[in-house]
Amino acid sequence: MNLVFAIIALITLASAIAAMCLRNLVHCVLCLTVTFTGIAMTYLQLSAQFVGFSQIMVYVGAVSVLVIFALLMTRGGNELNLRDWNPRHWLIGLGTGLLTFGVMATGIFKSSLTRSAAPDSKTESVKTIGESLLNEYVLPLEALALLLTVALIGAALLAMPERKTASSPHSDRPQTKGDPTN
Amino acid sequence: MWFEDLLISLKQQIVMIAPEHFRPVFSAMLSTIPILSAFGGLFAVITLVERKMLGRIQNRYGPNRVGPGGIFQPIADGIKMLTKEDIIPFSANQFLHLIAPLLLLVTAMLGLAVIPFGHKLVAVEFEAGILFFFAIGGAAELAVFIAGWASRNKYALLGSLRAIAQMISYEIPLVLSSVAVLMAAGSLSLPEVVEAQAGGIQSWYIWTPWGFLGCILFLIATLAEVNRSPFDIPEAESELIAGHMTEYSGFKYAIFFLAEFVAMFAMCALTATLFLGGFHAPLPILDFIPGPFWLFAKLILLVLLFIWIRGTMPRLRADQLMEFAWKFMLPMSVMNLVTTGVWISLGGGVFAWVVGAVMNAGAYFGWSRLLSQSSRVKPRVYRYAEETKANV
Amino acid sequence: MIGKGILKGMVETARNMVGSFHDPERMVTVEYPEQKIPAKESARNFPMLIFDGDDWESGLRCVSCQICEKECPPQCIYIEKDTEKKPDFLGKPQFKPKVFDIDISVCMSCQICVEVCPFESIRMNREFEYAGENRFSRLILHKEDLAKSNTYYHDIHPTEATETDGVREQKRQDHLAKERAKAEKAAQAKKAAAEKAAKEEQETASK
């Protein structure tokens, strides 16, 4: 447990707690961005460069911006404050959080991850990630590509202007397109 | 080589001054300070060169009052910016208002850390160096949003949303054009990409068919990423005053422009590294001239090209900009990737060159023809007028 | 081709930039204050008072008739007459102005004062460099600032000055002719009176 990891963990946890507790939603999102950066720094400390930089690129660069756009488009600029909650919710939330944490901690400590030695950082290179993606994990990769394509097409469909049906008031308009003599 | 070895040995000598425990930090500072001061000085010079060159293009002199030929103009500009009153709106978020330009500057300057200036002169040697560069560039959008939102100004917010939309749209062609280079070089780390282009001007990636198209796409995407003309909607005076920078005055405004110029330098340096052979000299006999000189020469040539484009083209409208990114540049960069794959699998000789050139040229001309056909003017539809007439 | 217009535009700008160094027709910048655009002859800015000869005080044409003060639309002229009369170029004794102020923050260069002046003394100047150090300095031009010599008037408005000189010469000739006619009439009257006196003397002598 060296000093750098302690500092990074402290920043991550503090910003995650702030992201939960702050009133203004945009402040929450910005603290969440700091949390993402903290996680990326943890990855980098483990010399997982590809994952770390992808974390920054995807989460900080794209997901935060997406959340902010969603907030601003649906809520407007000024009324982004959460309503007051009562302390009973707080207790239930704490209980649920502790339960989840207990399950995950038990799972991690009982698995083989804590018993095997940490892998040498030289073996985890971008080349090995690429090779394993295209040799071992090619089916998840293609499924992921399909999923992303579906999401893109769905977004384009949602954003397209609506089509007029045959019974619309425009169908009895004289057709002037492409007919110069009319 | 002699220059790089001299610098490295000099740095190792100076690092010995610091006590044992602080040596890594001190070494990092010693790598950083020359880079930052070089690019800071370059920023000052390029602002003057830009104004004078734009003036000559527009048949007038640039600034020529301060000093002979105007060479002290950047100093005068700096003094002006420093002595302006720093106005912060009363209801603005004070902390975020301060942080936004600083965050933008930090992300712009962090990009300079992975560029190889010489044979072993990289500030930080990452294995996934180029991914670091693009990740940090992605974080710049967040700074733009914070700047617009912290000003507590609806129009600044709208301007920053438009700026973010522009930056996001052009990030994809940017990354995809560089992926073509990474495929050919076989590694994500920038010193290795430069090594793959060693040996003189004929082995630079810009002469390959995919490199040529990739370089053009990369340069256009760079123009859009740094909000420079003709994509300068966020900072033009007639567009929502100054977009996300409306409520900034004095030194913070200067920091925005410093960040924009440093980002432009970083991306031009990356272009030179990926496509123009980095710090290698064009002819092997000119190798005695140190590497950083060649990199800065290529960088300055690219910056002059940007200034030339700025003086030539009018500003693009926001929807024209987005259409250009999604309908033209994205398919072209994907096609470029396909061409790169074909070129690599055919071995890289003359046959591969011809096939690649035919594929790229066919894609370019065919796609542009298809796009210009679909945007022919259609008869005007007055949607709401027809509906109300039908309802009445 | 989708980029052809851009490339043609870039060639044009490059030609502009290279041409601006060696082609003097391209650079139309006039670097003020080292270079100035030569003004046209009829350019005008604020009024001035003309004086003849070397001494501006005695050669000043203005006789403080105050017509320009009354005719000025924004009333920017302020005149105070002198207490004693001095002779003008025709020899007639006239009042010269003691105080002649024009407020150039009010003057609108309408040239009405020039049109109504019967003594050809107030004319339009074309000097525009009246900047002062603080906000209200040099906004009122006094008699000494307004007095400009006739040679200066010939320099800036040659045709107008020659015409004015012609008018004044005509006036002097008329005045001289009138004086001569008066002198002749006086001489004739004196001769007639002398003849009459001689005739009367003769009559009283013959009685």
In chain C, where the domains are located: 47-169
Candidates A57, A72, A126; nearest CB to B134: A57
Q: Which of A2, A53, A79, A152 to mutate to test the interface with B (most CBs of B within 10 A)?
A: A53
Query: Which residue of chain A is at minimal alpha-carbon distance from B151?
Result: A77
The chain-wide mean pLDDT, for chain B, equals: 87
Give residue C116's pLDDT.
94
> Considering only the top CATH level, what class is C47-169?
alpha beta
- Residue range B241-259: mean pLDDT, rounded: 82
Residues of C in contact with B58 (CB under 8 A): 16
- Residue range A120-144: mean pLDDT, rounded: 82
- Distance of residue B193 Cα from the nearest chain A Cα, in angstroms: 15
In chain B, where the domains are located: 93-371
Q: Is the pLDDT of residue B337 over 90?
A: yes
Give residue A34's pLDDT.
94
Q: Do B308 and C26 touch (CB under 8 A)?
A: no
C 9-68: CB under 8 A from B:
9-10, 12-14, 16-17, 20-21, 26-29, 31
- Distance of residue C13 Cα from the nearest chain B Cα, in angstroms: 6
Q: How confident is the model at residue B338 (pLDDT cuts 50, 70, 90)?
A: very high
Q: How confident is the model at residue A177 (pLDDT cuts 50, 70, 90)?
A: very low
Lowest mean pLDDT among B22-31, B228-237, C143-152: B228-237
**B121 or B332, higher pLDDT:** B332
The chain-wide mean pLDDT, for chain C, equals: 88
Query: Which residue of chain B is at minimal alpha-carbon distance from A68?
Result: B145
A 104-143: CB under 8 A from B:
125-127
Q: Tell me which residue has tokens 């203005």.
A: C62
Q: Do B61 and C27 touch (CB under 8 A)?
A: yes
Integer Cα distance of B274 and B267 in angstroms: 10
The fold for domain A1-84 equals Four Helix Bundle (Hemerythrin (Met), subunit A) (1.20.120)
- Please provide the size of chain A in residues: 182
- Residue range C7-20: mean pLDDT, rounded: 89
- Residue range B46-66: mean pLDDT, rounded: 90
- Distance of residue B43 Cα from the nearest chain A Cα, in angstroms: 26
Q: Do the two chains A and B touch, given a threshold of 8 Å on CB pairs and at least 3 pairs?
A: yes
Give residue B121's pLDDT.
85
- Residue range C156-174: mean pLDDT, rounded: 91
**Interface membership of B368 toward C (CB under 8 Å):** yes
**Interface membership of A170 toward B (CB under 8 Å):** yes
Asked if omega into B116 is within 30° of 0 (cis), the reply is: no
Q: Is the pLDDT of residue A165 over 70?
A: no
Q: Do B56 and C16 touch (CB under 8 A)?
A: yes
Q: Which of B21, B124, B132, B183 to mutate to test the interface with A (most CBs of A within 10 A)?
A: B132
- Distance of residue B48 Cα from the nearest chain C Cα, in angstroms: 16
- Distance of residue A101 Cα from the nearest chain B Cα, in angstroms: 30
CA atoms within 13 A on the CB side of B363: 20
* Long-range contacts, C174-177 (Cβ 8 Å, 24+): C175/C90, C175/C91
Q: Is the pLDDT of residue B203 over 90?
A: no
**B21 or C164, higher pLDDT:** C164
Q: Which tokens belong to B95?
A: 């902390």
- Distance of residue A115 Cα from the nearest chain B Cα, in angstroms: 28
Give residue A167's pLDDT.
45
pLDDT tens by residue, B132-155: 999 998 888 889 888 888 888 888
Give residue A175's pLDDT.
43
Q: How confident is the model at residue B157 (pLDDT cuts 50, 70, 90)?
A: confident
* B380: CB partners within 8 A, 6+ apart: none
**Interface membership of B83 toward C (CB under 8 Å):** no
> Under a CB-based contact definition with an 8 Å cutoff, are residues B278 and B296 in contact?
no
Q: Do B57 and C17 touch (CB under 8 A)?
A: yes
Candidates A26, A126, A170; nearest CB to B386: A170
> Under a CB-based contact definition with an 8 Å cutoff, are residues B360 and B339 in contact?
yes
- Distance of residue B56 Cα from the nearest chain C Cα, in angstroms: 5
Give residue A173's pLDDT.
44
Q: How confident is the model at residue C21 (pLDDT cuts 50, 70, 90)?
A: confident
Q: How confident is the model at residue B199 (pLDDT cuts 50, 70, 90)?
A: confident
The model's pTM: 0.83
Give residue B171's pLDDT.
92
Neighbours of chain A (3+ CB pairs under 8 A): B
**Interface membership of C201 toward B (CB under 8 Å):** no
Q: How confident is the model at residue B392 (pLDDT cuts 50, 70, 90)?
A: low
Residues of B in contact with A169 (CB under 8 A): 386-387, 390
**Interface membership of A175 toward B (CB under 8 Å):** no
Residue type, C40: K
Q: Which of B106, B169, B187, B188 to mutate to test the interface with A (most CBs of A within 10 A)?
A: B188
Q: How confident is the model at residue A144 (pLDDT cuts 50, 70, 90)?
A: very high
> Counting beta carbons within 10 angstroms of the beta carbon of residue B259, is it exposed (0 to 12), middle (13 to 18) or buried (19 or more)?
buried
Candidates A26, A65, A127; nearest CB to B168: A65
Where is B269: in which H helix or E strand? helix B251-275
Candidates B308, B364, B372; nearest CB to C13: B308
- Residue range C13-24: mean pLDDT, rounded: 86
The chain-wide mean pLDDT, for chain A, equals: 81
Asked if omega into B230 is within 30° of 0 (cis), the reply is: yes
Q: Do B161 and A56 touch (CB under 8 A)?
A: no
Whose CA is closest to B175, among B228, B225, B141, B116? Answer: B225
Integer Cα distance of B326 and B345 in angstroms: 28
**Interface membership of B49 toward C (CB under 8 Å):** no
pLDDT tens by residue, C92-147: 888 889 999 999 999 999 999 999 999 989 999 998 888 888 888 889 999 998 99
Where is B342: in which H helix or E strand? helix B330-345
Whose CA is closest to B163, among B246, B68, B277? Answer: B246
- Residue range B372-377: mean pLDDT, rounded: 71
Candidates B53, B64, B372; nearest CB to C17: B53
pLDDT tens by residue, C75-95: 999 999 888 877 777 778 888
pLDDT tens by residue, A39-48: 999 998 888 8
Q: Is the pLDDT of residue A117 over 90?
A: no
**Interface membership of C1 toward B (CB under 8 Å):** yes
Region at B171 (left for phi over 0; alpha for psi -120 to 50; beta for the rest): alpha
Q: Which of B94, B142, B392 to mutate to test the interface with A (most CBs of A within 10 A)?
A: B142
CA-based max dimension of chain A: 84
Q: Is the pLDDT of residue A171 over 50?
A: no
pLDDT tens by residue, A78-113: 555 556 667 788 888 889 999 999 999 999 888 877
Q: Is the pLDDT of residue B40 over 80?
A: yes
**Interface membership of B60 toward C (CB under 8 Å):** yes
B12 to B121, B290, C47: CA distances (angstroms)? 13, 19, 78
Query: Which residue of chain B is at minimal alpha-carbon distance from A170?
Result: B386
Whose CA is closest to B117, among B301, B278, B264, B244? Answer: B278
- Residue range B59-72: mean pLDDT, rounded: 87
- Residue range B320-349: mean pLDDT, rounded: 91
**Interface membership of B320 toward C (CB under 8 Å):** no
**Interface membership of A180 toward B (CB under 8 Å):** no
Give residue A166's pLDDT.
46
Q: Do C2 and B328 touch (CB under 8 A)?
A: yes
Q: Do the two chains A and C touch, given a threshold of 8 Å on CB pairs and at least 3 pairs?
A: no
User: For chain B, what percent of residues have pLDDT higher than 70?
Assistant: 96
Q: Do B312 and C26 touch (CB under 8 A)?
A: no
- Residue range A131-158: mean pLDDT, rounded: 91
Q: Is the pLDDT of residue B311 over 60?
A: yes
A33 to A19, A54, B105: CA distances (angstroms)? 9, 14, 18
ipTM: 0.82
Candidates B56, B328, B371; nearest CB to C20: B56
Whose CA is closest to A52, among A8, A22, A20? Answer: A8
